[in-house]
Amino acid sequence: MAKKRLNLFGSLLSKLKTKHQFLVAVATLAGTIVGAGILGIPYVLAKGGFIYGSLLIILLGAAFVLLNLYSGEMILRTKEKFQLTGYIGKYLGKYGKWLMTLAMVFGIYGALTAFLIGEGEVLKSIFGEPTFIASLSFIPISLITILQTHFYSILFFIIASLIIYRGVKAAGEVELVIISILILIVFLIGLFSLKNISVSNFNTFNPAGFFLPYGVILFSFMGIAAVPEINEQFGKNKKDFKSAIIVGSIIPLVLYFLFSLIVVGIVGLENFELLSANERIATVALSVYSGSLLGLLANIFAVFTMFTTFLTLSIALSEVYEYDYKINKNLALVLTLSVPMILSLGNFTTFISALAFTGCVTGGTEAILIILAYWKAKKLGNREPEYSLKLPKFLSYILIVLFVVGIVYKLVEYLI
């Protein structure tokens, strides 16, 4: 009897461990995907048209579910262990690896720039304008305006830089907490704001802004780099790997739609347009127009979300410079952090523009490379995968066309 009870207890522990492993894997992927992008989606949906934008969330969300599954199968078909650039290099050669590395580096710089701008605006919304700077007589007048405008971005940059120097990383368990809090906040905002939602705010459609939601939404689903990580989390037991990819990819899609529904319904395009370009951040707009405690809570969460993602991406990029290109650690950190700081202080872009350009160009490039490498892995893989997708190839061609159109449009728009 004692032996039977011991076996039952052991079986229960094993099931709990497996369930926790699955939840952590789901949270790792969902937490990597959900970041600053969620703060930009409501405005671009209000600007381009809510119904059209919602369909685009579903379309691109489904596309990235498929892309993440492609990545997972590619990894399972490979005996060797790599990061994403390594898998691309194995199946597409050194030029494919270089292009993937370039896209990822460029994408991280774009994301870090958006986070710096976003953090500055969200902190300003919480604490107000730093008016005390004008009274500091020892600061040259030429710097007063710059410091007043970018004070919170600079403050955030200094704090984050000190933490990054020590190499602190976010763990999967932290992502699980973040995602849980985000779901709770979205639920609470929706629950207590139902009476403030205006259905008329969903009736906008702007053909001129047709591509505006595309780039921001695409950026918001970028999280393929987490797939190799969750593969490692499962160890030798891969039976739940596919399910974790699917669930971890769908959670952001649902969150983006519900969050946008609430924010657009409360704020509306006209109110968004009254804000400055860098204030059209969902939680900032909520704090201005809802005037509730939930707006403050949403802003605090936005700070935390962007903060953790900023740390993760910064450390990842500095390690690319340090480990892959043998650059001194301190110089690697300077290369990582100086570019987004310069772009932010120089007002070279806005929060929404940074998301849109990064999503279209780098997100589209990464997606195309994943598809091409996946095709090669189907033929050249040296391991029997735990799952194999049986989907018509024309779906991949459609995705490639979709991403190519976005890249070309954004590059032409930028050059013109």
Q: For residue 15, tell me if it sits in a domain.
A: no
Residue of 322, 25, 36 whose CA lies nearest to 164: 322
Q: What is the pLDDT of residue 274?
A: 92
Distance separating alpha carbons of residues 271 and 288, to the nearest angstrom: 9
Q: Is residue 18 part of a domain?
A: no
The highest-confidence range among 12-21, 166-175, 313-322, by mean pLDDT, is 313-322
Residue 247 gets which letter from DSSP? H
Residue 179: pLDDT band with limits 50, 70, 90:
confident
Is 301 inside a domain boundary?
A: yes
In a domain, 100, yes or no: yes
Instruction: State the total domains in the chain.
Output: 1
Q: Give the CATH number of the domain where residue 99 resides.
A: 1.20.1740.10
Residue 14 within a domain = no
pLDDT at 138: 66
Is residue 256 in some structural domain? yes
Q: What is the span of the domain harbouring residue 228?
A: 23-415
Determine the average pLDDT of the residues in 293-310: 80
* Whole-number pLDDT of residue 15: 53
User: Two tokens at 16?
Assistant: 């709990």
Note whether 203 and 268 are within 8 A (CB): no
Given a cut of 60, is residue 8 above it in pLDDT?
A: no
Any residues with CB less than 8 A from the CB of 147 and at least 6 apart, and which?
A: 130, 133, 139, 154
- What does the CA dihedral 358, 364, 366, 372 come to, rounded to 10 degrees? -170
- Residue 9 pLDDT level (bands cut at 50, 70, 90): very low
What is the pLDDT of the chain when averaged over all its residues?
A: 84
Could you report the per-residue pLDDT of 116-170, keeping only the tens digit for each?
999 999 999 888 888 777 666 667 766 777 777 888 999 999 988 888 887 655 5
Does a structural domain hold residue 328?
Answer: yes
Per-residue pLDDT band for 17 (boundaries 50, 70, 90) equals low
On whether residue 102 sits in a domain, the answer given is: yes
SS3 state of residue 155: helix
What contacts 255, CB < 8 A, 6 or more positions away?
34, 38, 182, 183, 186
